[in-house]
Amino acid sequence: MRVKAFKAWRPAEGKAESVASVPYDVVDTKGAAALAEGNPESFLHVVRAEIDLPEGTDPYSDAVYAQAKANIERFKNDGILIREEEPAFYLYSQQMGDHLQYGIVATCHFEDYEEGKIKIHEKTRRVKEEDRIKYVDTQNANTGPVFLAYRDSEKINALVEETKSTDPLYKFTAEDGVKHTVWKMGHVSELEAAFGEIPATYVADGHHRSASAAKVGAMRRDANPNHTGDEPYNYFLAVMFPESELKILAYNRVILALPGTEEEFFQALEEQFTIEKNGKAVPAKSGEICMYMNGEWSTLTPIYMPTATDPVAALDVSILQNDVLAPILNIEDPRESNDIDFIGGIKGTEELEKWVDDGRAVMAFSMYPTSMEQLFAVADAGMLMPPKSTWFEPKLRSGLLVNTLD
C-alpha cells in the first residue's frame, strides 16, 4: 500500500468542536440546516452547501458546488481552518459508550484503488458517484475521509500506543455523545514503511468517496503529460482502522407493501424457513433472522442453508434477499424498489416496531450483523455484498482534517 503523510487544513485552536460535522451522506438538507443553525463555522456549510442557498435548490446543481467552494475558501481566509507547514499523519480516536477505536489519518494512492489493493464490497450508484466527482474536482480537496480497514499490524500498533501518551490537538464530545480525539503523529517514514508492508486495505464506509477520488485522480493523470505519480492529486484522504477495533452493527430492513395476501406470504415463507413465534427481536447468531409483523416477533431459520464456500450467499442479508425479498416480495433490486427501506442498527429494534405499528411498514426484519471476517472474505474474492449489508458506528466527522489536491 502507498500511504503518505499530508499537509492538512484543520480547525484553528479552540474551533474543532464548532467546525466538525456529521458526514454529508448521513443527513439530508433539512437535517443539515437544523444542525448548522446559528453556527457559521459548521463544516456542513461545506459538505451540505445547499443549506446556504434558497430552499428547494437542487443539491446536485452547479450553484451548490460553487457555494461549497466559496464556503471552504471563507473558512481558510477567516482563519477557521489553518494549514500545516509540514506533512503529517494523525491519530483519530472515537469513543461511543464502551467502544473505542483508533484510526490513522493519511492519504492513499488512487492507483491502489484501481489495482484492487484498496478492496470494495459494495456497488456504487452512478448519480452519487458523479456528484462526488464533481464535488471533489470543484473543491480541489477531499473534505471527508474514506473509512478503511486493515488487518492488524504490530508495527503500526506500537506507533499508535506511543502517540496516545502525547497531548492531543483536539478533544471534544459531539452532540450525539461520541468522544472525538485527534493527535499529530511522529515517525512519518516508519508509518509509510509499515503500511507499505500491508498488501491491502478494505473500504468499510465511503464507497462513493473512494470511487470518485480515484476517478478525479485518473482525470488529472490523463490531463498531465508530465505525470509522475507523486503529485498531490494522486492521493485521497482516508482514516485507516485495524480490524480488531471495528464494530459492525446490523443493517435492518422494513417492508412497505406486500405483493399479495398475508396468507400467501406465510405459505411461501414456510417453504423456506422454520418460523418460531418467540418474541425475540434480535438474532442470537448468524443464520437467524427476526421478523416483526402484526405486533409480534418471530425467528426465521433457513431450512436449506447455502454453501459456506460462497462468501456472499452465506451472508444473512443474502439469505433474506435470495429466499424472501426477491422470490416472495418481488424486491429484485433493493436499490431501486419503492417497497423497502433500510434502518441502521444504531436505532435499535424499537425503531422497527415503530415503523410497523405506525403503519409505515407492513413488516420488519432484524438482522445479525455482518462480521469483519465476512467483509474481508467477500472483498478478497472480488465479490460484492447486497446493498446495505454493513452499518459502521461511530461515524467519522468531517472538517477535522482536509486534504487538498495541490
Q: Is 229 helix (H, G, I), strand (E, B) or coil?
A: coil
For CA atoms 307, 311, 315, 321, the dihedral sign is negative
d(CA 227, CA 404): 18
181, 92 in Cβ contact below 8 A?
Answer: yes
In this predicted model, what pLDDT tens digit does every residue of 299-314 receive, in sequence order? 999 998 887 689 999 9
Q: State the pLDDT confidence band at 144, using cuts at 50, 70 and 90.
A: very high
Q: What is the mean pLDDT of residues 12-29?
A: 96
Orientation angle between helical segments 126-139 and 207-223, nearest 10 degrees: 60
| Position 376, amino acid | F
The three cell numbers of residue 137 are: 474536482
Residue 125 scores a pLDDT above 90: no
Q: Which long-range contacts (CB under 8 A, 24 or more apart) does 260-268 make?
A: 265/328, 265/329, 268/327, 268/328
For 153-184, how does the pLDDT look when each residue is reduced to its tens digit (9 = 90+)?
999 999 999 999 999 999 999 999 999 999 99
pLDDT value for 361: 98
DSSP string, 286-302: TT-EEEEETTEEEEEEE
The DSSP code sequence of 46-75 is HHTGGGGS-TT--TTSHHHHHHHHHHHHHH
Q: Rounded to an integer, what distance in angstroms lies between the CA atom of residue 51 and that of residue 32?
A: 7
DSSP string, 90-147: EEEEEEETTEEEEEEEEEEEHHHHHTTSEE--S---HHHHHHHHHHHHHHTEE-S-EE
Burial 314-343 (b: 16+ CB within 10 A, else e): bbbbbbbbbbbbeebbebeebeebebbbeb
State the Cα–Cα distance between residues 74 and 144, nearest whole angstrom: 18
- For the segment 54-68, what is each residue's pLDDT rounded down to a tens digit? 999 999 999 999 999
Mean of pLDDT over the chain: 96
Residue 284 binned pLDDT confidence (cut-offs 50, 70, 90): very high
- Residue ranges of domains in the chain, CATH in brackets: 3-246 (no CATH), 251-368 (3.30.1760)
Q: What is the DSSP letter of 325?
A: I
**Cβ–Cβ under 8 Å, residues 95 and 176:** no
**By C-alpha distance, which of 364, 369, 396 is closest to 385?**
369
The helix or strand, by DSSP H or E, that contains position 76, with its residue range, turns out to be helix 62-77
**Per-residue CA distances from 71 to 58, 121, 128, 172, 292 (Å):** 18, 33, 22, 24, 45
Helices 126-139 and 62-77 cross at an angle (nearest 10°) of 40
> In terms of pLDDT, which residue wins out, 322 or 247?
322
Each residue's pLDDT tens digit, 372-392: 999 999 999 999 999 899 999
Q: What is the pLDDT of residues 214-235, one digit of tens each?
A: 999 999 999 999 999 999 999 9
Question: DSSP letter string over 264-279?
Answer: HHHHHHHTTEEEE---
Compute the 3-state secondary structure of the chain and give helix, strand, coil in percent, each to the nearest 5: 35, 25, 40
Q: How far is CA 349 from the centre of its chain?
A: 21
Rounded Cα distance, 149 and 172, in Å: 24
| Lowest-confidence segment of 135-144, 256-265, 303-312 by average pLDDT | 303-312
The pLDDT score that the predictor gives to residue 309 is 82
Burial 198-210 (b: 16+ CB within 10 A, else e): bebbbbbbbbbbb
Residue range 314-336: average pLDDT? 95
Answer yes or no: are the C-beta atoms of 144 and 398 closer than 8 Å. yes
Please choose, from the candidates 283, 286, 351, 365, the residue with its C-alpha nearest in 3D space to the C-alpha of residue 321: 365
Give the pLDDT confidence score for residue 280 in this predicted structure: 98
Q: C-alpha grid cell for residue 121? A: 464490497
